[in-house]
């Protein structure tokens, strides 16, 4: 961190462009090559892992998927399992009844409609059971390299703390982030913000006045940042 980036030397709150440039630069310094946090071996296992990560930690998903993929790591083998078997394996991830049904049905649809392959379009992905826009965005970015900016509730929270959006939901926040950051940075920034949030700007550990980025962007902020829930 350079002296000019130090919170102690920042007397005025940054304007938006200054915040964008500092955040982009600092996150790239902290996480120059952010890894994909969900363990997977191909687009299909990534799709299943992302689906399981809804309202569940990546760490827990990575504990569960080895047993699941040992039984079924392709749409064909997954489709042959019954829902109860899938549910028994993924139960620690939460919402297991809905997720198990979605995993079996989407596997059947991949076989019936996509020759057993994960489709490479948002429209086709979002038509699959259990696959919303955020899940589709992660798959498009991490499996196929398409520039996307998946936004979950955690990124939504940090983007508000950092003055990058006034979005009322993740859809509006995604739109705002895509406007201020260059397209070639979207996929890495998605991961970098996640890792920074886990390490420094957690829901309970920072209220908009504690972590380095919050203090640097808003050195004059006196009160906790109120967040619009997604």
Q: What residues are annotated to the active site? A: 134, 152
∠ CA 135-171-20, rounded to 5°: 100
Q: For 82, list phi and psi in degrees, rounded to 5.
A: -85, 160
* Among 15, 25, 69, CA closest to 47: 69
Structure tokens at 225: 């940042």
Cβ neighbours of residue 104 under 8 Å, at least 6 residues apart? 78, 79, 81, 82, 83, 86
**CA 82 to CA 100: how far, in whole Å?**
9
Instruction: Provide long-range contacts, Cβ within 8 A and 24+ apart, for 222-229.
Output: 225/160, 225/161, 227/157, 227/160, 227/161, 228/160, 228/166, 228/167, 228/168, 229/153
**CA 124 to CA 139: how far, in whole Å?**
12
């Amino acid at each position: 961190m350079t002296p000019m980036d130090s919170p102690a030397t920042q007397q005025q709150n940054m304007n938006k462009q200054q915040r964008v440039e500092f955040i982009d630069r600092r996150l790239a310094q902290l996480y120059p090559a952010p890894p994909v946090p969900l363990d997977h071996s191909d687009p299909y296992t990534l799709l299943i892992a992302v689906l399981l990560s809804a309202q569940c930690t990546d760490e827990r998903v990575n504990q569960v998927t080895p047993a699941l993929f040992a039984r079924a790591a392709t749409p064909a083998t997954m489709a042959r399992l019954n829902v109860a078997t899938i549910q028994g394996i993924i139960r620690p991830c939460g919402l297991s009844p809905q997720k198990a049904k979605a995993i079996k049905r989407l596997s059947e649809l991949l076989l019936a409609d996509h020759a057993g392959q994960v489709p490479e379009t948002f429209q086709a992905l979002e038509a699959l059971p259990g696959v919303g826009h955020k899940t589709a965005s992660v798959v498009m970015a991490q499996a196929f390299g398409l520039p996307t900016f998946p936004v979950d509730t955690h990124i939504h929270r940090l983007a508000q703390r950092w003055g990058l959006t006034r979005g009322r939901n993740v859809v509006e926040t995604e739109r705002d982030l895509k406007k201020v950051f260059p397209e070639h940075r979207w996929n890495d920034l998605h991961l970098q913000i996640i890792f920074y949030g886990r390490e420094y700007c957690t829901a309970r550990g920072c209220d908009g006045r504690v972590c380095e980025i919050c203090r640097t962007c808003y050195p004059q902020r006196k009160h906790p940042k109120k967040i619009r829930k997604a």
